[in-house]
Amino acid sequence: MGMETDLPFVVGLIDIDGAPLRIFSRIVGPSTPVPSIGERVRFEPFRLPDGRMFYRFRRAVGPSHGGGAAETTTDSAVHR
Protein backbone atom coordinates (compact mmCIF):
# COMPACT_ATOMS: atom_id res chain seq x y z
CA MET A 1 0.00 0.00 0.00
CA GLY A 2 2.98 2.30 0.04
CA MET A 3 3.49 2.49 3.80
CA GLU A 4 6.06 -0.30 4.16
CA THR A 5 8.90 2.17 4.72
CA ASP A 6 7.01 3.60 7.72
CA LEU A 7 7.18 0.39 9.79
CA PRO A 8 6.66 0.09 12.70
CA PHE A 9 3.52 2.22 13.06
CA VAL A 10 0.55 2.41 15.44
CA VAL A 11 -2.93 1.18 14.51
CA GLY A 12 -6.11 1.28 16.55
CA LEU A 13 -9.89 1.09 16.60
CA ILE A 14 -11.46 4.53 16.25
CA ASP A 15 -15.02 5.31 17.42
CA ILE A 16 -16.50 7.99 15.18
CA ASP A 17 -18.23 10.70 17.23
CA GLY A 18 -21.96 11.00 16.50
CA ALA A 19 -22.15 7.79 14.46
CA PRO A 20 -22.44 4.09 15.36
CA LEU A 21 -19.19 3.39 13.52
CA ARG A 22 -15.79 1.97 14.53
CA ILE A 23 -12.83 2.06 12.08
CA PHE A 24 -9.52 0.19 12.22
CA SER A 25 -6.90 2.69 11.13
CA ARG A 26 -3.35 3.91 11.38
CA ILE A 27 -2.70 6.53 14.08
CA VAL A 28 0.12 9.04 13.46
CA GLY A 29 1.73 11.60 15.72
CA PRO A 30 4.15 11.44 18.65
CA SER A 31 4.98 7.82 19.48
CA THR A 32 5.47 8.52 23.17
CA PRO A 33 3.55 8.15 25.26
CA VAL A 34 1.86 5.19 23.57
CA PRO A 35 -1.73 6.09 22.48
CA SER A 36 -4.28 5.18 25.11
CA ILE A 37 -7.93 4.15 25.08
CA GLY A 38 -10.12 7.25 25.03
CA GLU A 39 -7.46 9.48 23.48
CA ARG A 40 -8.77 12.00 20.93
CA VAL A 41 -7.62 11.76 17.30
CA ARG A 42 -8.41 13.68 14.10
CA PHE A 43 -9.23 12.31 10.64
CA GLU A 44 -6.48 13.04 8.09
CA PRO A 45 -6.68 12.15 4.38
CA PHE A 46 -3.32 11.78 2.60
CA ARG A 47 -1.89 10.83 -0.79
CA LEU A 48 0.05 7.58 -1.24
CA PRO A 49 3.27 7.64 -3.32
CA ASP A 50 1.39 6.17 -6.31
CA GLY A 51 -1.17 9.02 -6.24
CA ARG A 52 -4.08 7.20 -4.57
CA MET A 53 -5.81 8.86 -1.61
CA PHE A 54 -6.02 7.08 1.75
CA TYR A 55 -6.81 8.05 5.34
CA ARG A 56 -5.32 7.88 8.81
CA PHE A 57 -5.96 9.51 12.16
CA ARG A 58 -3.59 11.95 13.86
CA ARG A 59 -3.21 12.12 17.61
CA ALA A 60 -4.89 15.30 18.87
CA VAL A 61 -2.45 17.65 20.61
CA GLY A 62 -4.95 19.59 22.70
CA PRO A 63 -8.67 20.19 23.12
CA SER A 64 -10.77 20.24 19.98
CA HIS A 65 -11.56 23.78 18.75
CA GLY A 66 -13.40 23.13 15.50
CA GLY A 67 -11.60 22.59 12.21
CA GLY A 68 -12.55 18.97 11.80
CA ALA A 69 -14.10 16.13 13.69
CA ALA A 70 -12.28 14.60 16.63
CA GLU A 71 -12.78 10.92 17.30
CA THR A 72 -11.84 8.57 20.15
CA THR A 73 -9.47 5.58 20.14
CA THR A 74 -10.83 2.38 21.64
CA ASP A 75 -7.80 0.13 21.22
CA SER A 76 -4.33 0.51 19.78
CA ALA A 77 -1.41 -1.67 18.79
CA VAL A 78 1.96 -1.31 17.08
CA HIS A 79 2.04 -2.86 13.59
CA ARG A 80 5.45 -4.34 12.80
> Would 55 be classed as within a structural domain?
yes
> Domain count of the chain?
1
- Contacts for 11-14: CB closer than 8 Å, 24+ residues apart: 11/76, 11/77, 11/78, 11/79, 12/57, 12/73, 12/74, 12/75, 12/76, 12/77, 13/73, 13/74, 13/75, 13/76, 14/41, 14/57, 14/71, 14/72, 14/73, 14/74
**Domain membership flag for residue 14:** yes
Please indicate, yes or no, if residue 80 is contained in any of the structural domains.
no
Name the more confident of 66 and 8.
8
The predicted model gives 54-65 an average pLDDT of 74
Instruction: Tell me what pLDDT residue 30 has.
Output: 79
pLDDT digits (tens, 9 = 90+) for 17-59: 889 999 999 898 877 677 888 889 999 998 988 899 999 999 8
Segments forming the whole domain that contains residue 15: 4-60+69-75
What's residue 14's pLDDT?
92
Q: Mean pLDDT over residues 2-25, rounded?
A: 85
Cut 0.85: pTM above it? no
